[in-house]
Structure 1
């Protein structure tokens, strides 16, 4: 039994807006015994949580949280892996009116303390180190305590703020962006989400990223709001992800370009294993044109969606694969709002000219609070920037070039790290590449590449290959070969840390390596 009054097929109420609690209860009434979550543990054994079980567990947790004083304005830190209890806890927090604060389950103690100082949590749920001065429970302790609480849902309440994203981003410094909006969604919001993500109601969906990261979080909970069955693996290994898509006939998945690259480089990869996918969405990093085209050979372009956004909620664009073919290299257009490209003095630049990307949502901009980070400046029209560089074409499509913080000034030339990385990753033996600028007395910064290869490949070979695509001044002057380029759990590289670690390891040779590397750019 579904509603015909609203776009949301599970909504039987008067308002088109729904809270997470009401939507979960409505879905649980329609299909109580259907699987809401299928969890695949590290031993590759599955467990199923039905919609009824998810609803009941989250209700019991909500009653416990209410007893602990959780209400609008109060925060709960969730430092758990992707497990069913994590999902139930998030719903429970929102049902109590609280703010859900997901963080890495492996967060260092220093960062945990810093986050606690920023958000002043009323409760911390973690299976590792418990911070002093905070009420803390493990996930098993929470489930045991909650067993004595009622099964029915508490009185519905708006959870404002609903979410706080804690991220070190690419700088390594903890920053907190709190969303001062009610948890839930409306018909209009769902329609927009469907348009930019390709999602629809009641799909088989695979979670291929950590819940504490913005994109996997949004996709997971929006999927649950749509009645999707969410398949949750315990790891994001490329081979395992492909096997799960094939086994469960997954219809929807979102992943980062790093995982996309690793999948197609699997020695026994068979594109047929992904043929159940009806929608493939990628976000969370630069996807080169070459990588995109390779995925078009696997899936029809109209099934592939790309979303460009940022934790700071400055703006969002999206593009479908068939659109991309007409605007190659673009990350799309804003579904609502405007984009402006400006120079260093804040003047608008002409179409096609590269500058700093500014975005404005217009009158419906998300309300956010910045903690442990300087609030982004906004002009009278609401335009803000996180420092990304790009340009727009005459149809309003945005083309992302690089992060301003990742741009390397070498010998007076501006060089985008992402461009060089994309070229290096074209090489069939390169799995991953990260380019940074190292301090250099002569060049200002020397272009240095960290490369992860499937087998031995010489610097000269990589240089010769890169010269097919790049002018000499963009060629790395030095390389470092590694078995694995370190990325955080969000799939991001902390470049400042890579540079710092390199300089420590090569403290006595940095000056001489500059001279040695100059030949590479000739």
Structure 2
């Protein structure tokens, strides 16, 4: 937290208290978690998470201790995170693609006291228990191992302990450069941010409102987080549905398959799907086109995308096949959420690259630090007022660079550039640290990527800046394309939306683009590929 600055008071939400209250006011046989043939009822979910929470405390873990989770999208991942909330402990996400050295870095950085991990990662983490002195609790997740016993045995009643809105969690984010950083979230701030979502119509001011909402809702939502739980959006969407008394549905297979997604959505009567941009949305749309009428998806109400814009063409295919569905493009970051929302339905749409601003969103002019309020036009840093995360664990300098005092106010400014247009909408320009300086001109990678994806026969795109002795850097595009791809036609299309200097000097066609498990672009790997293709030494 920034020195000398008082954060505005928010409702004293605590996820442990919310989960207790929800469990006490929903039918016990309602599904809380579904994955394939595994169905965990709300009564079971409540008892299991209470037992795991007690086991964590019995192991001597102090309030706020870090509980690291290394697992794929399995019910236990959500159970462990919820148990940590109930026990006033702080869960930590670990990327299951990490090497032993990378896992060690995160565990050491957050001073993790416990590691819960799937058996497939046992060899990967085995060396760490001898070199990390803080790591005292070692729990393997498998069908009949230590975790299964922990969740099955003991007192399953509520813990009955006082909790605080300051209880929270650490969200590690790799970013585009440098080591992973842990973003510190309070429960009070995280829940208040969740309640800003435009899809939430009921006003919830306090616990009495929350209980009334849960008790009155006979048909709560059922969400499928198609992206990994190890990333913030996947777990956050699951928590939001569970806190409301709903159901989190996990896909049975580890590799995303759009046909399986629609199969599961039909079978479980899912109402919402959470994805990350076109890398998920495109195959979903293609499956609907290939198998028209195959699925009964009448229960589906919302498909939301977090962290990566998705193209208009794909949105149009989705609403054509699912006219009852609302598509929500969420503009947010690990450090702060709810900057803006782009809504598409069968009858209306927010243009690609534009967003309706969140209630707390402002623009900060780069040169003057003037705050551009609602009703004013201007361009600069995308920012928002509280609530948002506290900052970066163990990195006060990075915290001070993102959470800044502007005109006497504490704002979160993660690094995106945007403009507020005359109609009040935000036009996203791009990420400040993804600017490519070429020949004295600034080019935003995301802007070029969106233009490429709108070009004929280009399915997906990543833009990088490759060092060049003449221009400083040159814009290089990586793309996946269809058989109809013609580079001249693609460039002609891009010129309708981009100045000529922004066009890629070269477009490298690949079978698959480098992306993280979340679906976000792996820019470091993309740069390595581009340099190799151009015959440059990385």
Per the normalisation by structure 2, the TM-score is 0.81
2-structure distance, mates of 1:57, 1:49: 10
Aligned partner of residue 331 in structure 1, secondary structure: strand
1:321 aligns with 2:344: yes
Q: Distance in 1 between matches of 2:456 and 2:227?
A: 26
Once the 2 structures are TM-superposed, how far is the Cα of residue 195 of structure 1 from its aligned partner?
Answer: 4.2
1:192 partnered with 2:196: yes
The 1:435–1:26 alpha-carbon spacing in structure 2 relative to 1, beyond 3 Å, is closer
Give the C-alpha shift of residue 314 in structure 1: 6.7
Once the two structures are TM-superposed, the CA of residue 455 in structure 1 deviates from its matched residue by 3.2
**Equivalent residue in structure 2 for 1:429, among 446, 452, 457:** 457
* 1:270 matched residue in structure 2: 292
Match of 1:215 in 2: 233
* 1:94-173 paired onto structure 2 within 5 Å: 94-127=85-118, 128=121, 129-130=124-125, 131-132=128-129, 133=132, 134=135, 135-140=137-142, 141-158=146-163, 160-171=166-177, 173=179
Match of 1:386 among 403, 414, 436: 414
Contact 1:28/1:55, CA 8 A, preserved across alignment: no
1:463 equivalent among 486, 491, 509: 491
Partner deviation per Cα, 1:356-375 (whole Å, 9 max, x = no partner): 223222xx555344335711
Q: In structure 1, what is the equivalent of residue 436 of structure 2?
A: 408
**1:331 aligns to 2:355 (yes or no):** yes
Question: Is structure 2 residue 358 aligned with structure 1 residue 354?
Answer: no
- Tell me, in whole angstroms, the C-alpha distance in 2 between the residues paired with 1:94 and 1:369: 20
1:450 matched to which residue of 2?
Answer: 478
Structure 2, unmatched stretches of 5+, are: 1-10, 204-212
Task: Tell me, in whole angstroms, the C-alpha distance in 1 between the residues paired with 2:392 and 2:22.
Answer: 32
Cα distance between partner residues in 2 of 1:22 and 1:198: 16
> Which residue is 1:249 aligned to?
269
Name the SS of the counterpart of 2:460 in structure 1. Answer: strand
Matched, 1:499 2:527: yes
* Aligned position for 1:8: none
1:35 correspondence with 2:31: yes
The number of equivalent residue pairs is 486
Distance 1:344 1:495, change over 3 A: farther
Alpha-carbon distance in 2 for matches of 1:189, 1:374 = 22
Shift in CA distance, 432/212, structure 1 to aligned 2, threshold 3 Å: same
Q: Deviation per CA, 1:25-71, whole angstroms, max 9, x where unpaired? A: 6435631122111102xxxxx21111111111111111110011224
**1:190 & 1:442 partners in 2: Cα distance?**
48
Contact 2:435/2:445 (8 A) holds in 1 = yes
Shift of the alpha carbon at 1:311?
Answer: 0.7
Q: Which residue of 1 aligns with 2:245?
A: 227
Q: Does 1:260 align with 2:281?
A: yes
Match of 1:513 in 2: none
Structure 2 residue aligned with 1:70: 61
CA distance in structure 2 between the partners assigned to 1:31 and 1:163 by the alignment: 28
Q: Is the 8 A contact 1:181 1:367 kept in 2?
A: no
Distance 1:301 1:472, change over 3 A: farther
CA pair 477-92 structure 1, distance change in 2 beyond 3 A: same
CA RMSD, 1 decimal: 3.2
1:239 pairs with 2:259: yes
Structure 1 residue 105: deviation in Å?
A: 2.5
Residue 16 to residue 467, structure 1, CA distance change in 2 (3 Å): closer
Instruction: Give SS of 1:49's match.
Output: strand
In the TM superposition, residue 283 of structure 1 has moved relative to its aligned partner by 1.8
Shift of 1:215: 1.6
| Superposition deviation, residue 497 in structure 1 | 3.2
SS at the partner of 2:267? helix
Corresponding residue to 1:297 among 315, 320, 334: 320
Whole-angstrom CA distance in 2 between matches of 1:386 and 1:118: 21
Q: Deviations over 1:465-513 (max 9, x none)?
A: 4334433222211121111111111211131332134335644589xxx
Query: Which of the residues 50, 59, 69 maps onto 1:59?
Result: 50
Structure 2 residue corresponding to 1:287, chosen from 293, 307, 310: 310
Matched, 1:81 2:104: no
For residue 182 of structure 2, give the secondary structure of its aligned residue in structure 1. strand
Alignment partner of 1:180 is 2:186: yes
Q: Would the alpha carbon gap of residues 440 and 189 (structure 1) be closer, same or farther in structure 2, given more than 3 Å must change?
A: closer
- Structure-2 change in CA distance of 1:496 and 1:430 (3 Å): same
Q: Write the distance in 2 (CA, Å) between the matches of 1:308 and 1:508.
A: 35
Give the alignment's TM-score, normalised by structure 1: 0.83
1:79-136 deviation line (CA, Å, top 9, x unaligned): 1111111121112111111001122223222221111121111101112122223232
| 8 A contact 1:450–1:482 mirrored in 2 | yes
For residues 86 and 307 of structure 1, what CA distance do their matches in structure 2 show?
A: 24
